[in-house]
Each structure stands twice: as C-alpha cells, then as structure tokens.
Amino acid sequence: MSTQQTSYVVFALTDDSDRLGWLANSSIYIKRPIINQINQCKLESCKEVNDKIIQMLENEAKDVENQNATEDPLTKAIGAIGKWQIWICLVVFLVKFPVAWHQMSIIFLAPPMNFTCSDAGQSKVFDSVCQANCSHYEYDNSVFHETIVSEWDLICDRQWLKNLTQTIFMLGILVGNMMFGYLSDRFGRRIPFLAAVSLQLMSGVATAFSVNWYMFTTLRFFLAVATGGTMVTSFVLTMELIGAKYRDTVGILYQIPFNLGHLTLPLFGYFLRDWSSFQLAISLPSILFLSYYFLLPESPRWLLTAGNTLDTFFTNVAISAAIQVPGTLVSIYANNVLGRKITLISANCVTGLSCLLIIVIPHSGASNLTLGCIGLWGMSISFATVYLYAGELFPTVVRNSGVGLSSTVARLGSMLAPFVATLSHTSPWLPPLAFGIVPLIGAALCVLLPDTRGRKLPDTLEEGEA
C-alpha cells in the first residue's frame, strides 16, 4: 500500500481529520505493522486501532522533526557544541570589547566643556558664551585636560563638526558591514576578519596622533569601517560553528561582551583625561588580535559549502578580463569605420541590453556568464572610445580639465558599483537593472554630441562649440 493510499485509509478511520490533516500530507512513511492493522479491521470496529494509529503517527512525526533538526552533516561531524567551539567563541567574543569602546568613545573624546573668551580684558569665568569677535577661547580643564573640543575649538559656529565626526563614523560602520560582508562571502570568514582587526588596530592608533579635525575624522572613518567589518565577520563565524540547538543562546551571549566593553569604557575615561591618551589606550589592546592568525580557523561550514565556488569565481574573473582584449582591438576598427559617436552609442547599447536580458532570461550559470561577458565586451569598446572621444570634444584651453572631469565621473561610478552589486541581497534583479539602464541613458545622451572622426582638434571655446 502506498503512502497516499494509507492516508486515505487514515481519513476513513477517524472523524478527527483536522488533527490528522498535517500528518496525512507530511510524506511520513507509515510502518507495515500499522498498515496490516488497518487492513485487518472493519471500519465500524476500529476505534481502538485508530487511536493507536494516531498516537504512532504523532510519535513518528516528532521523530522526523528531530531527525531533520540534526541532519546537518557538519553538526554530526564536529558536534553541536563542545570544548573547541566554546574556545573559538570565547576568542571571537573578545573582539566585541574594542567594538564597544570605539563606538561609544565619542562620549569621552568630545564631552561638553565649559569655556570663555580669553581675549585681553575678558572675564575668566567659564560662562560658555559665544562671542562674535573672540579670537581665542579658554576651556575649563578641571574635569578633562584636553578633548577634541578644546583641541580644535569645536564650539559655537564649529560645534556641528563634532556631530559630523560621529555621523561619519557611523557611515564608516555601514560601509564596513557591507564591504566585509561581501568579502567574507567571497574569500571566507577568517581572512576578512583578520584584515578588519588589523585595520582597526592601525587606524585606531593613528587616530590618537591626529593633528587636526580633518585627519581625526578621516582616520576615524577607516576605524569605523574596520569596526563594522569585525562585527559582521565575528558574528557569522560564531553562528556557523554552533549547532542549531545552542545557536540562539550563543547568538544572544555574543552581545554580552559589547555590554561589558561599554561598562569598562568609563575606566579608561576616568584615568585618562586626555583624548589622545584615551584613544591610544582603547586601540592598543587590538594588538592581541594579531595572534588570531594562528588561533582562529576558517569556518568549516563555509569551506564545506564553498566547494568549487572559488574555482568558478577565479575562472569568471579570468574570462571577464580576457574578453576585454578583443573588445579594445575591435574599437580601433569601429572608430575608423563608424566614427566615435556611433561606436560609443552601439557599445553602450550592447552593454545595457545584455545586462537587462539577465533579468528576463532564466537564471543559469552559463547564461549569466555569457550575457555578462557580452556586456563587458561592449563596455571595453565604450571605455576605449570614450577617452578618445572626450579628448577630441574638448578644446585645447580646457581639454585636460574636461578629460579629468570625465574621468572623475567614471570614478564615481566605480565607487558606487560595489554598493549596486550588493543590492542582489535585496533582490537579484536590481544590479542588472541598474547596470543596464545607465549605459542606455549614456547612449541616448551621446545622440546630442557631434562626431569628431577626422576633424581638427578644437583649440578655443568657440571652435569647441562650433
């Protein structure tokens, strides 16, 4: 008797169909002894047998659920939790201390300070009153000896710079989360994690020796990128080591070191009242994390699931690079025969349409790779043409500035490209849509430009506008 037939028999034997509905449709294989009992009884006298069947089916369902929860081959191999996992978790958890220190450090780097104008004849009372013609302010150093506020006069009309520093820091954490999240998916958890803690150490120490607000804020941005990187890589590494049974507990315990880091931060602030010494003190402990090169293993789960992904990745990169060589050579012929304008419009259209086709064509490795290579081929023609075209469009008096401006816009595109690519985590069609529409817009705008093939280079603005 098949499972489907058995399901019908079960429904015939009971009025409690709601109770058995999920059992009958759960593809549970009912053991032969149960089927035999069903076949041997009549419908009007099977109440006792039916109750047994219900109980056995429910037990069977629980066994299947428990089996599914523990079927993970990696968990079977290394266990849900053990001394090794606990040791690695403790090692990784330590990273959360500097994460908390750096995120909350602005409290002691830029605390409120009383001040007064110290110009000749001014009162020495720290009234914290801004004066329009004051050339120098004096600060109350009774609590903090030196902060970034007193170091660079971040008061009055410059107070917004203090707020901007923390805003840029949080932006850096956002960038770090995205960048290191991508890197850890591509190259494993261990190497990006080590890179993040190394960058955190270097940028944190360097921040302590900042000589002006711009240097301080820039270095703090890189420090934030590293901090965001350690946050995501350490958490994912921990989750991939622990079995499902203990994952929720460990995932919550992972946050406790951050709370402890926040708790210990006032100790640094209390004993170190100079911002530079304070910043150095919360950064130097990260030296310990350099030992993680020897202590920290790669995530077994990432190694297991990566399989041949890296080989495919390297192959794709090699193919995408190789396809651009013939594209560049083709651009020589196309520019001589078709001219700059038609060549650029055609190349952009090829690139844009190939990217848009990735959205509508059924997804497969071969189709995506083929369309991607066609898009890169078109882009290689466009890239070679656009430099030539820009150099011929701008007159001599502004040619270098014009080409430089065009190159700057191209760099903006390069800066945005990684963030556009990571939109695939939200929806897989967003990156090809963005990469497809922009070249088509560029092709449409090229219609407004004149063709410059065979023409004399313009020297003046008048010649360039002619």
Q: Note the pLDDT of residue 102.
A: 93
Q: 273 or 69: whose pLDDT is higher?
A: 273
Q: Is 110 helix (H, G, I), strand (E, B) or coil?
A: coil
Same domain, 333 and 460: yes
Q: Note the pLDDT of residue 15.
A: 40
pLDDT tens column, 279-300: 999 999 999 999 888 888 887 7
Q: What mean pLDDT do residues 203-221 have?
A: 95
Mean pLDDT check: name the lowest of 74-83, 229-238, 285-294, 448-457: 74-83
Q: What mean pLDDT do residues 303-326 have?
A: 64
Q: What mean pLDDT do residues 217-241 have?
A: 88
Residue 22 lies in a domain: yes
Q: How many structural domains compose the chain?
A: 3
Same domain, 281 and 329: no
Question: How far is the C-alpha of 368 from the C-alpha of 354, rounded, in Å?
Answer: 9
DSSP classification of residue 451: P
Q: Are 358 and 373 in contact (CB under 8 A)?
A: no
Question: How far is the C-alpha of 250 from the C-alpha of 81, rounded, in Å?
Answer: 10
Q: 147 or 186: whose pLDDT is higher?
A: 147
DSSP classification of residue 146: B
Q: Note the pLDDT of residue 285.
A: 94
Q: What mean pLDDT do residues 18-30 have?
A: 38
Q: Note the pLDDT of residue 383.
A: 80
Residue 116 lies in a domain: no
Q: 408 or 54: whose pLDDT is higher?
A: 408
Same domain, 202 and 338: no
E-assigned strands of 310-433? none
Same domain, 270 and 331: no
In this predicted structure, the answer to whether residue 199 has a pLDDT above a threshold of 80 is yes
Residue 119 lies in a domain: no
In this predicted structure, the answer to whether residue 128 has a pLDDT above a threshold of 90 is no
Q: Note the pLDDT of residue 426.
A: 81
Predicted confidence band of residue 362 (pLDDT cuts 50, 70, 90)? low
Same domain, 315 and 415: yes
Contacts 24+ apart (CB under 8 A), 170-173: 170/224, 171/221, 171/224, 172/220, 172/221, 172/222, 172/223, 172/224, 172/225, 172/227, 172/228, 173/103, 173/224, 173/225, 173/227, 173/228, 173/231
Same domain, 292 and 431: no
Q: 436 or 78: whose pLDDT is higher?
A: 436
Q: What mean pLDDT do residues 223-246 have?
A: 84
Same domain, 413 and 332: yes
Q: Which of 20, 47, 69 is the last residue of a domain?
A: 69
User: Percent of the chain, pLDDT > 70?
Assistant: 76
0.75 surpassed by pTM: no
Predicted confidence band of residue 267 (pLDDT cuts 50, 70, 90)? very high
Given CA atoms 272, 278, 280, 286 in this order, what sign does their dihedral have?
Answer: positive
List all residues 6 or more positions away from 131 whose beta carbon is below 8 Å from its beta carbon.
117
Residue 136 lies in a domain: no
Q: Note the pLDDT of residue 121.
A: 61
Domain that holds residue 339: 309-465
Buried b / exposed e across 40-79, counting CB within 10 Å, b at 16+?
eeeeeebeeebeebbeebeebeeeeeeeeeeeeebbeebe
Same domain, 177 and 200: yes
CATH number at residue 444: 1.20.1250.20
Which residue shows structure tokens 């109980």?
Answer: 55
Q: What mean pLDDT do residues 110-123 have?
A: 78
Residue 327 lies in a domain: yes
Q: Note the pLDDT of residue 241.
A: 80
Q: Note the pLDDT of residue 62.
A: 59
Residue 93 lies in a domain: yes
Same domain, 59 and 168: no
Q: Note the pLDDT of residue 24.
A: 38
Q: Which of 272, 303, 334 is the last residue of a domain?
A: 303
Predicted confidence band of residue 115 (pLDDT cuts 50, 70, 90)? confident
pLDDT tens column, 334-358: 888 888 889 999 999 999 999 898 8
Calculate the average pLDDT of the chain: 78
Amino acid at 66: N
In this predicted structure, the answer to whether residue 13 has a pLDDT above a threshold of 80 is no
Q: Note the pLDDT of residue 450.
A: 86
pLDDT tens column, 152-186: 988 888 888 888 998 999 999 888 888 888 888 88
Same domain, 252 and 382: no
Residue 145 lies in a domain: no
Residue in 264, 250, 217 with CA at minimum distance from that of residue 98: 264
Q: Note the pLDDT of residue 295.
A: 82
pLDDT tens column, 30-88: 444 444 454 455 444 555 655 665 666 566 555 545 544 445 666 665 667 778 788 88
Same domain, 439 and 454: yes
Residue 434 lies in a domain: yes
Predicted confidence band of residue 275 (pLDDT cuts 50, 70, 90)? very high
Mean pLDDT check: name the lowest of 12-16, 145-149, 280-284, 326-330: 12-16
Mean pLDDT check: name the lowest of 110-124, 141-155, 255-269, 295-309: 295-309
